[in-house]
Amino acid sequence: MSDAIVPEDRLLSLATAALTAGGMTPPDAANAARVLVLADLFGLRTHGISRVPQYLDRVRLGGIDAAAKVEVTRVAPGLATVDGANGIGPLVGMRALEAAMEGARAAGIGAAFARGSNHFGPIAPYALIAAEAGFASIVASNATTTIAPWGGKDTRVGNNPFGIGVPNPGGDPVILDMALSVAARAKIRQFAARGEPMPEGWATDAEGRPTTDAAAALKGFLLPVGGHKGYGLAIMVDLLAGLLSGAAYLTRVRAWDKDPGVAQDLGHVFIAIDTSRLGSADWLRERMADFAAIIHDTPAADPASPVILPGEREMAAMHRQRRDGVRVAEDDLRKVEALAGQG
């Protein structure tokens, strides 16, 4: 499959037009498109504009309500709940992020707990938007179950994404955005499609036995990163993002790939911390520069691979692609153009 290179603003207007044609209001569509295009800028193409056709397929099947009115309720100066009303995930995510930042402006720290949502894209775009406004952030979501509880042999926990971002007034923010499995299911699908064995330790078969057979692994479950530690973190993310938000959790989350026409009721949590209350921008700039220098000066095991900070690769890709254009799959681009009525 060949790639296309598209300027950022063109990609943004295309994705916005496609989502608008799919039933979103233009401002809502622009809000959601911003998250997906940032994902492509970061090089996270599985979470970028390639999601637009998938989201709109589900809208057509009645699984997502593109015209949903997301409702934000402020329950305390720093705390909001968000009813996503089964809207497009990145829209719900943006509303929740804004509510968390509003709480942080008022109280120094703010949080928003969102329910009734769908796949909200990757975490890095939210962490970047927060960091650019001076907020450190903690963001997490639950997900369709693909992981077995540690010591169990049935998928009952999601590969829940979890991320943390810290602003850096003198350069790029540091952003961690990770899922809690050793490997992504999409990577296993690639091995299965090629008929190749996959690395050990990624997944088990349906009986819970370790396997390197990618096809068998797709019927089994993903292994959590760090064994019981990754399992524990996946549980805690679901408790915060799913249970406390009033959303579905664990096996009560519906699988979009099996039931595309049914509301998933995913949950997210967004926490924002106003770093300006902790010290001046100069103070933060100096400390971040010193912190980065200590890490970058670490002798590398392989001199060709210098030591980097979380998110550094993605931020470099963003700068490069903002300058040179964004690389997306030709096929994805054509689909989004068609949906935007520009095919």
To the nearest whole angstrom, how small is the minimum distance from the Cβ of residue 343 to a copy of itself?
A: 39
Handedness of CA 282, 288, 289, 294 (dihedral sign): positive
3-class DSSP assignment, residue 179: coil
Among 30, 114, 198, 235, binds a copy of itself (CB under 8 A): 235
Among 77, 171, 199, 341, binds a copy of itself (CB under 8 A): 77
Query: What is the spatial distance between Cα 68 and Cα 85, in angstroms, rounded to a whole number?
Result: 6
Residues 124, 46: contact at Cβ < 8 Å? no
Among 143, 233, 328, 339, binds a copy of itself (CB under 8 A): 233
Within 104-143, the residues that bind a copy of itself by CB under 8 A are 106-111, 113, 136, 138
Q: Does 313 bind a copy of itself (CB under 8 A)?
A: no
Q: Does 328 bind a copy of itself (CB under 8 A)?
A: no
Residues 46, 32: contact at Cβ < 8 Å? no
Query: What is the spatial distance between Cα 28 and Cα 16, in angstroms, rounded to a whole number?
Result: 9
Query: What is the spatial distance between Cα 157 and Cα 133, in angstroms, rounded to a whole number?
Result: 33
Query: What is the spatial distance between Cα 142 and Cα 234, in angstroms, rounded to a whole number?
Result: 8
Q: Does 325 bind a copy of itself (CB under 8 A)?
A: no
CA atoms within 13 A on the CB side of 84: 36
C-alpha angle 116-104-70 in degrees, rounded to nearest 5: 25
Note the residue count of the chain.
343
To the nearest whole angstrom, how small is the minimum distance from the Cβ of residue 285 to a copy of itself?
A: 12
Among 45, 156, 254, 327, binds a copy of itself (CB under 8 A): 156
Stretch that binds a copy of itself, among 6-14, 51-59, 91-99, 298-306 (CB under 8 A): 298-306
Residues 270, 99: contact at Cβ < 8 Å? yes
To the nearest whole angstrom, how small is the minimum distance from the Cβ of residue 287 to a copy of itself?
A: 5
Q: Does 154 bind a copy of itself (CB under 8 A)?
A: yes
Among 21, 178, 262, 317, binds a copy of itself (CB under 8 A): 178
To the nearest whole angstrom, how small is the minimum distance from the Cβ of residue 274 to a copy of itself?
A: 7
CB nearer a copy of itself, residue 243 or residue 317 = 243
Residues 80, 112: contact at Cβ < 8 Å? yes
CB nearer a copy of itself, residue 63 or residue 78 = 78
Q: Does 103 bind a copy of itself (CB under 8 A)?
A: yes
Q: Does 56 bind a copy of itself (CB under 8 A)?
A: no
Q: What is the CA radius of gyration of the chain?
A: 20
Q: Does 279 bind a copy of itself (CB under 8 A)?
A: yes
To the nearest whole angstrom, how small is the minimum distance from the Cβ of residue 278 to a copy of itself?
A: 5
Q: Does 41 bind a copy of itself (CB under 8 A)?
A: no
- For the record, the structure tokens of 187 come out as 């990577």
* Interaction pattern, residues 252-271, with a copy of itself; x per rule: CB under 8 A: x------------------x
Query: What is the spatial distance between Cα 341 and Cα 249, in angstroms, rounded to a whole number?
Result: 37
Q: Does 170 bind a copy of itself (CB under 8 A)?
A: no
To the nearest whole angstrom, how small is the minimum distance from the Cβ of residue 253 to a copy of itself?
A: 11
Residues 12, 49: contact at Cβ < 8 Å? no
